[in-house]
Amino acid sequence: MTVVDFHARLVPGATEPENLLAVMDAAGIDRAAISAGGLIPLDRLAAQIDEGGRAEAAADNEGVRRAARRSGGRLLPFFFADPVNDLSTYRSEAVDFKGLEISPAVHGGRLDDPSVHDLVAVAETAGHPVYLVTVARPGAGPRDLARLAGRFPRVTFVWGHCGHHGLGLAGLDVLAGCPNVLAEISGCLTVTARRAVTRLGVGRVLFGTEYPLQAPAVELCKVDALGLDPAGRSAVLGGNARRVLGEEIR
């Protein structure tokens, strides 16, 4: 079985991506989808999740691209886009990436904003999945993601962490009727991950780690705690990611 981490972050510093690859080896993770990390301090991110706000913070997408090239194919780069500033860059560089991330927690805004729609339209053309964590603010919650997914039925959306607070049961109910939305379960409670399997089906659930904020072993234990049969466990740990990413992994 090939294990694919659908959500890890590449943090700034000279120790990456070697440290990430070493952590993956220790945990038995074969490949990982990576986005830029460290855009804003964690205290500010936590405050923005609770209170709102926008950071004029540019992601090091070029660093992510370089790290992926150095990884021998093990790291799959996602473009982390600020809807206000990054449309033209994403459009011109999409061919070098495997997916798109949009973050209302970092960059603020609403999912019905035309700038978000423009980014998703580029992702549709590129064949990219769109990773997105909803937050409890007008225009950026699960119902807003459901409407966005309905507007772009040919795009696969990945609901990061099953929402921002670990207990996104209501969000799962909202998104269950959106077949092009999958749930990524890093950081959420086991009860939420189990509900994701029940409500969405095992084919719509993705393993992730949220490295370096979470220890991969914790997330692997959570998958084990779900009590999946071998086929379901294989799907969550890698098969679904392979399908979403269009990756042939030997």
User: How do residues 119-156 score in pLDDT, each as one tens digit?
Assistant: 999 999 999 999 999 999 999 999 999 999 999 999 99
Answer whether residue 16 is part of any domain.
yes
DSSP one-letter code for 108 = -
Answer whether residue 176 is part of any domain.
yes
Check whether the bond before 142 is cis (ω within 30° of 0).
no
pLDDT of residue 248: 56
pLDDT of residue 129: 98
Q: Which residue in 49, 6, 33 sits closest to 183, CA to CA?
A: 6
Answer whether residue 250 is part of any domain.
no
Answer whether residue 216 is part of any domain.
yes
Answer whether residue 154 is part of any domain.
yes
pLDDT of residue 249: 46
In this structure, the chain runs to a length of 250
- Please name the helix (run of DSSP H) or strand (run of DSSP E) that holds residue 33, with its range, or none: strand 31-36
For the record, the structure tokens of 61 come out as 């997408």
Distance CA 96, CA 109 (A): 26
Q: Which CATH number is 71's domain given?
A: 3.20.20.140
Answer whether residue 132 is part of any domain.
yes
Answer whether residue 28 is part of any domain.
yes
pLDDT digits 0-9 by tens, 201-212: 999 999 999 999
Which residues fall within 8 angstroms of residue 14, CB to CB, at 6 or more apart?
A: none
pTM of the model: 0.96
Domain count, the chain: 1
Answer whether residue 166 is part of any domain.
yes
DSSP one-letter code for 211 = B
**Residue range(s) defining the domain that contains residue 65:** 4-245
